[in-house]
Chain A
Amino acid sequence: MGRIIVDGVSKHYADRRGTPVRALDAVNLAIEEQEIACIVGPSGCGKSTLLNLIAGFDTPSTGEISVDGVQVRGAGPDRIVVFQSPSLFPWLTARENVILGPRKRGVPASRYEEDARTMLASVGLEHFASRYPYELSGGMRQRLQIARALVNHPRVLLMDEPFAALDFQNRLAMQELVMRLWSRIHPTIFFITHDVEEAIFLGDRVYVMTASPGRIKATITVPFAKPRSIEVVTSPGFVAIKDQVLRLIRGEFARSDRAAEQAGAERSG
């Protein structure tokens, strides 16, 4: 459950001035069941566009995306997104946020109440069930978002730089939490980040993307078995992979800088 196929997907749109933007260009991905796939790349490389397409918030210009052989048409609770910016409903308590989806879809109360308790406990928020989001810290809000996602038993968890706004310690704790939750329920995770260490710690595969047009530049397979403990980040094998990824990204930065310079020269010339 949770096999994602991205087949020749491109996404073009016109920006505010009407110039066409190739956000994604012929992207192919095959993400296996229970895999954690991490996408890294410069901002504006189309990572979020790709995530939105898999989530079904938007449709590809060409190509096709399918999950477990079924073409993605629109958003649904089998592919839940954990957003970076607050997307919790501020007028609902933590518990009410978590149960909203199943309650509205007609899941029996006995089941979703039980599920909600389990999920809140598994992200360490069992004592905060009746608190409102504004009473929670940034890290707790992201944990609540994860609980709200998992209570729907999604096949795929789509995480859009979920920990980018957190401080270092919180981020580490969240990464370990994701690893722990994965080892219990094994969802497929599509994880966007700009933190290379985060990508390698969590990912079975790390995909490096390039900007304009957005493409997958390289795929790095991370050989460490899951679940991983955070100590792995200091092992020589980890450092070697990090070095490799950083070099790929740095090359990408240099390239996009050159492209920007060139574009600037063309505009002024």
Chain B
Amino acid sequence: MNDLDPQIEDGTGLRVAPALAEIKLSVAARTRPRPVWLGEVRYTLLSAATIIILLGLWALVTNLFHIPAMVLPSPQSILRHFRTMLLEGYAGHPLWEHVLVSVLRTLTGFSIGVTLAIPLGLWMGYSRTVNAILWPVFGFIRPIPPIAYIPLAILWFGIGEFSKVLLIFVASFNFTVLASAAGMRAVPEQLIRAGTNLGLSRWQMFVSVMLPAAMPQIFTGIKTSIAVSWAVMVAAELIAAQIGLGFIIEDAGTFFRTPEVMIGVAIIGAIGLVFEATVVAIERRVLHWQAKG
């Protein structure tokens, strides 16, 4: 009840404070100063510990109990299969070829999609007329999950390369076009005024003010697009492919080859991470000014 009384607090504080300071000093004098780097590295070590513990649990469970390899193979069995896949490939193709095909399909669709979507999106954001004409199309398409087009793509264009690249193109195009349009619309009025005030022409304003100001949102669109493109690629390969990472997990699954499925999934995850990290690294360089204020 009385611990909020300022007089009591002040009194004890005054008497205790010097004593505390002395204790702190003597402690500091006795203990060696802790190396500074440990402070930051501690968190990395904790994250590493999580991974090691999870792997350890997995190894323990799979080796101590009789779990069918089809349900959950042991780590050493996965490593064995991975070695075999590296040496002998999968379904008649070396592993790197599967990876390369999937990556190329994704990057082809993604880069065409983004390259066409950015100018169109910017134009939509710039001109209300263009926006009014095109918005109904993209507005309708936007909420449709890109994998929903897979049957249509197969019906119209068969199960060849074109269908897969087209699906990836559509997915990345949609996300980037809307993000770019939103970015253009969100350019601060104040910056446009400053630009007109300095006597910039319409084209100079577009290139020197509006485009850079819209960059943060364009990058958000690109980040979403690369992730979605990769996901759509896997989905398309699950359904119709003779090569690729999606084909590996589908094919291995059909034949109950769980280790190969898990290896395929892990590779898909790792490459997805690399894509994301690459875009984020480029974004940090281009948009360094966005970090603060």
Q: Which residues of A contact B (CB under 8 A)?
A: 55, 57, 74-77, 79-81, 83, 85-91, 100-101, 104-105, 132-134, 148, 152
Contacts and interface: CB of A to CB of B under 8 A. Distances in A.
Contact of A57 (B196, B199, B204, B290): B196
B204 A81 contact: no
B284 to A, nearest CB: 13
Most A CB contacts (10 A, CB to CB) among B190, B199, B215 go to B199
B193 A75 contact: yes
B192 to A, nearest CB: 10
Contacts of A74: 196
Main secondary structure of the interface of A (DSSP, over half): loop
B206 to A, nearest CB: 12
Contacts of B193: 55, 57, 75, 81, 83, 87
Contact of B199 (A55, A81, A86, A104): A104
Interface string B137-155: 0000000000000000000
A97 to B, nearest CB: 9
B285 to A, nearest CB: 12
Given A80-B198, A86-B190, A104-B199, 13 more contacts: A77-B197, A77-B199, A81-B193, A83-B194, A85-B190, A87-B191, A87-B193, A87-B194, A88-B194, A101-B198, A104-B200, A104-B208, A134-B293
A104 B198 contact: yes
Interface in B200-257: 200-201, 204, 208-209, 212, 215
A189 to B, nearest CB: 16
B204 A104 contact: yes
B292 A89 contact: no
Nearest to B188: A87
B198 A152 contact: yes
The 3 closest A-B pairs by CB, nearest first: A101-B198, A87-B194, A77-B199
B289 A91 contact: yes
A100 B190 contact: no
A75 B196 contact: yes
Contacts of A85: 190
Contacts, number: 67
A148 B201 CA distance: 18
B204 A87 contact: no
A48 to B, nearest CB: 12
A194 to B, nearest CB: 19
Contact of A89 (B191, B291, B293): B191
A104 B208 CA distance: 9
Contacts of B212: 89, 91
A86 B212 CA distance: 16
A132 B190 contact: no
Nearest to B291: A134
Contacts of B288: 132
A152 B200 CA distance: 13
A196 B290 CA distance: 36
A92 B201 CA distance: 18
Contacts of B198: 77, 80, 100-101, 104-105, 148, 152
A75 B208 CA distance: 18
A180 B73 CA distance: 79
B290 to A, nearest CB: 7
Given A83-B190, A89-B212, A55 B200 contact: no
9 contacts: A75-B193, A76-B199, A87-B191, A87-B193, A87-B194, A104-B204, A133-B293, A134-B289, A134-B291
A43 to B, nearest CB: 18
A85 B291 CA distance: 18
B293 A86 contact: yes
A74 B198 CA distance: 12
Contacts of A88: 194
A76 B193 CA distance: 10
A93 B289 CA distance: 10
A83 B197 CA distance: 11
Contacts of A79: 197
A101 B190 contact: no
A77 B291 CA distance: 31
Given A75-B193, A104-B208, A90 B290 contact: yes
Given A75-B193, A91-B212, A101 B199 contact: yes
A127 to B, nearest CB: 20
A40 B290 CA distance: 35
A90 B204 CA distance: 17
Contacts of B191: 87, 89
Interface string B57-96: 0000000000000000000000000000000000000000
Most A CB contacts (10 A, CB to CB) among B198, B208, B288, B289 go to B198
Contacts of B292: 134
Contacts of A134: 289, 291-293
B199 A105 contact: yes
A89 B293 CA distance: 12
Contacts of A83: 190, 193-194
B204 A132 contact: no
Nearest to B212: A91
A146 to B, nearest CB: 13
